[in-house]
Chain A
């Protein structure tokens, strides 16, 4: 059998796939599996005028907004569970620096799904009768959604147009070199995002042999044919968590949340944790192995047990 080329690339190389002005979608939900090492690398490299097509990747949106790299955002909800609203993102919208187009979660997912299935639109039932459809953000209203009658009866549905991000960035548990990707916990909107996007970049906690993937194919989220690049990035979701590996770092999240109340404090924070650290391993050492190891989850519970560290 002919050898299949490896898709393993460095973080620096993978981030170069996102050009200024590109549209981006990212995996993750709440404080779980957001591709934040990748986001920090983008901030280090510097980009401008990015468009996000987002469902729940609140931390990616917040950090890109904090770094002033966002221009437009199609989204449904950004909220830090247990903390409150995303402050730099919200301030940027209030200042008119970032333009937004609102959706319900299912509306966003349906638009990504339309693109992923190669369809000109997706019919759906939510959002009707509300300002989500009545008030246009930056997109002309008739380009976002239209009411239509079913071709098979009298039922009226909302047709939403496809959204095709240039790049999807996903953080997962493990992959092989060919790009077969596994994730053990909730999977946010990753399958729909990967189908919709032009290029799919996956960062993972562990690189494993294909044999390991083949032993548990039921855990595979994205087969290699869906994936363009793989980056080995242990703790690549920090300060969010990865199910089965490490819990979210609530102290670090709280630290950012406090800093994000003001623009100068946010800038200092970004200097310390993104610009000021040459690469991901320097970031990990700045945190310290002790802190990272104390975030490890319990193998049976899937989350961090409090007070287990002597």
Chain B
């Protein structure tokens, strides 16, 4: 069997965040793969919601995005964007997954601009549902590759709230969700200190060191007291990823053979 790729570690780690019977708000890419993996294994009763308005689908082909008709197949409801997002405000959504261009130590995200807002160096796509998910889902998970341009001391524009300025800030802003619980990167799995609300290193993928992870992060980041090694994924999970869920490797890159 091929070597386990970083994408595969990320997909497996993300899937583990989903609990059985969760209502999960899912975006395009790795979150979609992680959700299908969770559903096929430990969380068969997970209820998947997509911002295009698709509820609990049974797709037979992998969708290229949340607006793709491949995703609508076998769903229990096809609605609109308002319907899907309103489930967040109602408090129905347990978990959401987000990607980002920048993330700071408190898990705040930027997907709006690089450079000044009015004359940006790079105009990014904008919040979309990300701010809604981070504000209102009971918890959320960030999936992001670790590098110093992404893991920054201060985001250039705060699109999506993590813990904002630190302990108590979400509550003061009136945000109903509890905030980020995990950041799944391509080198390590990160979490947040229960009191400090700062990001810390929880699990290292095989071959990774604390120093290498710290090196790829532009803000100071410490290890969790319970730091451990992420084990190699179970062969059963790898087979599901490679043969059933994403056989063409659209979202999950393969390791070297």
**A131 at the B interface (CB under 8 A):** yes
0/1 interface trace, chain B 58-72, chain A, CB 8 Å (1 if under): 001100111111101
The complex places the Cα of A192 from the Cα of B79 at a distance, in Å, of 13
Given A137-B117, A191-B82, decide whether A129 and B66 contact each other with a Cβ distance below 8 A: no
* Cα separation A186 to B85 with both chains bound (whole Å): 14
Chain B positions within 8 Å of A42 at CB level = none
Nearest Cβ in chain B — how far from A255, in angstroms? 17
Interface residues contributed by chain A, number (CB under 8 Å):
63
A12 at the interface (CB under 8 A from B): no
Chain A residues lying within 8 Å of B64, measured Cβ to Cβ, are: 81-82
A18-26, A225-233, A262-270, A297-305: which lies at the interface: A297-305
Q: Counting CB contacts under 8 A, is A106 at the interface?
A: yes
Interchain CB contact (< 8 A) of A85 among B82, B119, B123, B160: B123
Identify which of A70-78, A203-211, A278-286 touches chain B. A70-78
Task: Indicate whether A291 reaches chain B with its CB closer than 8 angstroms.
Answer: no
Q: How far apart sit A187 and B78, CA to CA, in the bound complex (Å)?
A: 8
Task: Say whether A126 contacts B81, CB under 8 Å.
Answer: no
Check A105–B117 contact: CB distance below 8 A: no
| Besides A137-B118, A188-B81, 9 new A-B residue pairs in contact (Cβ under 8 A), listed by A number | A78-B126, A81-B64, A91-B123, A93-B120, A131-B159, A132-B159, A186-B54, A186-B81, A303-B68
Which of these, B60, B66, B119, contacts A30 with CB under 8 Å? B66
- Is B136 an interface position by the 8 A CB rule? yes
The complex places the Cα of A235 from the Cα of B123 at a distance, in Å, of 31
Q: By the criterion CB–CB under 8 Å, are A191 and B80 in contact?
A: yes
In angstroms, Cα B63 to Cα A241, docked, is 14
Name which of B79, B86, B122, B127 has the most chain A CB atoms within 10 A of its CB: B127
B-side contacts of A217, CB under 8 Å: none
Count of interface residues, chain B, beta-carbon cutoff 8 Å? 58
Cβ contact within 8 Å between B128 and A131: no
Known: A96-B119, A126-B135, A129-B175. A105 touches B51 (CB 8 A): yes
Instruction: Indicate which residue in A131, A247, A297 contacts B158 across the interface (CB closer than 8 Å).
Output: A131
Distance in Å: Cβ of A70 to nearest Cβ of chain B = 13
Contact A104 B28 (CB under 8 A): no
Interface residues of A in 134-153 (CB under 8 A from B): 134-135, 137, 147
Q: Are A109 and B82 in contact (CB under 8 A)?
A: yes
User: Which single member of B61, B80, B122 contacts A189 (CB below 8 Å)?
Assistant: B80
B157 at the interface (CB under 8 A from A): yes
CB pair A79–B128 under 8 Å, yes or no, is yes
B231 within 8 A of A: no
Q: Is B257 an interface residue (CB 8 A)?
A: no
* A contact residues around B73 at 8 Å (CB): 301-303
Given contacts A94-B120, A126-B89, A189-B80, contact A79 B125 (CB under 8 A): yes
- When distances are taken between beta carbons in the complex, the residues of chain A under 8 Å from B88 are 106, 126
24 CB-based A-B contacts, threshold 8 Å = A76-B128, A76-B129, A94-B120, A99-B118, A102-B112, A105-B85, A105-B127, A106-B129, A107-B131, A109-B85, A113-B82, A126-B135, A128-B135, A128-B174, A131-B112, A186-B52, A186-B72, A187-B53, A187-B79, A188-B53, A192-B82, A241-B69, A303-B61, A303-B70
Is B130 close to A, CB under 8 A? yes
B85 CB contacts on chain A under 8 angstroms: 105-106, 109
**B212 at the A interface (CB under 8 A):** no
Which of chain A's residues has its CB closest to B130's CB? A104
